[in-house]
Structure 1
Amino acid sequence: MDPMVEYLKDGKLPTDPVRSSKIRKEASKYTLIEQRLYRRGFSSPLLKCVDTGEAEYIIKEVHEGGRALAGKIARAGYYWPTLKADCMDYVKKCDTCQRFADSHQVPAEQMHTVTSPWPFHKWGIDILGPFPLVPGQFKFLMVAVDYFTKWIEVEPMATITVERVKRFIWKRIICRFGLPAEIVSDNGTQFASSATAKFCQELHIRQSFTSVEHPQANGQAEAANRIILRGL
């Protein structure tokens, strides 16, 4: 991925004419956001490009069987050039897939709760404040936490509006981590509005709501809030 990053950032191309021509042709499919490379996708706005080490980790986390592994990873918001080939190779080496992928006789396992099947698939989002005014007239914090990795995104805000919520989701979640499958929030006006619902529907993001009176149902966001408040 380094040659593509260099071309998008500084306009530099490899000396090899074949590689140089290929990068020029492929460049329109990629973009740089905060020094991270993203590929423009069909099923989601942007897919985060990852290196070999990250790719191996993602395959292991997303892998559930012998079918559609590459599709699951793409829907989770990731991309690397050898994605499909790596998935096929991984499945070929997986003993369980080879024995049971086309069978309904997979050995039974102990039932357990899965809050999110892979990184950045499901996010909890919440609003903290109002706090005493600080420079910039900020008095609220918008908080999002990934259910799988527990990664937290925070942004200070002067006011909380539907447009600010949409912009936060786009900038802090989608552009950085890819398109999520689900966002959990309370049913406050900013989250449950028709404009927010339309925004999520157009991006095929499922909205799940908890009651404002029972915020503990959005456990990940509440846990993140406690961590942030301890640091204030």
Structure 2
Amino acid sequence: MYLLLSKDVKYVWSKECDDAFKNVKRLITQAPCLANYDPSLPLKLACDASSYGLGCVLSCVSTDGLERPIAYASRVLSKTECHYSQIEKEALSIIFGVKKFYQYLYARQFTLLTDHQPLLAIFGKKKGLPQMAANRLQRWAYFLSAFDFTIQYVKSSKHGNADCLSRLPLECSDANDNVNDFDYLKFIQTTCFPISSKNVSSETVKDEVLCKVLDYTLHGWPNDCNSVSDQLRPYHLKRNELSVEDNCILWGYRIVIPVSLRASLLNELHCTHLGIVKMKSIARSTFWWPKVDVDIEEVANSCEFCQNEKKSPPKHILCNWNMPNGPWERIHMDFFGPINNQMYLLVIDAYSKFIEIVQMRSITSMAAINQLRQIFARFGLPYSVVTDNGPTWTSSEFATFLQLNGIKHSLTAPYHPSTNGSAERSVQTVKKCIKIAMKQGKDVNTAIVRFLFDYRNSSHCVTCKSPSELMFGRKIRSRFDLLRPNRLEKVSSSHSKQVENFSGKRNVTFDENQVVLVKDYRTSQASNWVRAIIISQLSPVSYLVRLSN
């Protein structure tokens, strides 16, 4: 019907106008829209906020299921509240409604209705308060904890009563209720930082990304994450925890630093060369930006002074030598001593773990070559030799000796004796044996020989066989073999008993060409002895004969 009063509109009373007129008459003739407060009926409080006002509606649910309003309230936002983020404005509308209708809501259960879904996680009872929620929201959540309510999400299309009031607010004195609400940002300014909140505020407005974040935080973020750029996506994930104070963006109690100030702040953070963990701890209590932990790690790892004072890195995973295909293909060598002013050369086979120890008067290259010639004469030439970087092994004489014999020479890493671990571990074992022998007053050379004898005949923990068995294909006879019964003697004794118990007692021999009588088993006659001549003796009791016929 309002359209009929517009200029240049032809007055036509249509069916829509007639239905609207009848609806107005029906509303006028019925009971008033506002319902009286009834303590026995369930209560609902619908709250909403716009960019400049707040609105709330207190209603009850009658027995017939209809929702009837009890009271309305609205007000404009103060100049300070207009700079709140959207989530804080929505939360402020709830605080305004609860305080406005305090006498109706306190000490009874009611339902809070909001079209801002993130508030369900902050003010709801099923989940705890988010750790990074702004301090203002934390204080409001603490205030609401004194009330018994259930918060529900309502679509904006079905939240028109409170939404309309927030867009048509009343000018009232309630707008100054939160004037004394302090800004948390002022409490983190300290004289030790060269960067103040004013610097952060001015650079935030200039920053290409943060200026958009500031605008989205004040006026609302898009619901779809894909609708924002990749640079804004980290902020979109934390949109429900961002707030604005003095044009500075806060994530909870941490200030979001613009790009232009991050390098200076990182240098200030690392000025005392703290470690990565402590730097992150300080940053997590003060400021934030996307991938701030990665930037802190890069600053700490790129500091030359910190790297020079760092401990050695962890050891690499163990890398074993390849197992040779047979004995004496690869040998490891090392010197040890002096013991009683004597040096010793230890040679160990990588396949069989067979050890050779040679006493050395000197450890020159020629002395080592002379001893190796004797060892190679007994066991043959190996395919490769592994030694450390001592002058004996790196000399030109030793290199020529190996080259002439077709032996490959492998050197271990400098100052890393574990590379030649097979020889180093064997040296430790031999030294232990020698030290014990010296304490017992025994001869060192005798102790070494006896050690080699027992070692070569004992099972090795790696190969599960004795070195002598892998080296020679048999075990070396030792004193412990005397404990086992002698099989040869037992067999010989058994044969002697068989001879004694045998029925035959004749012991006779025959000569060649001697005429004898032999039994002819080719005939079936009772008397089959025939004449024969001895040709040759085949065994102690058998002969080859020629029959006379």
The TM-score by the shorter chain falls in which range? 0.3 to 0.5
Q: Which of these two proteins has the greater Rg computed from alpha carbons? A: 2
TM-score when normalising by structure 2: 0.20
TM-score when normalising by structure 1: 0.47
**Structure with greater contact order relative to length (CA < 8 Å, sep ≥ 6):** 1
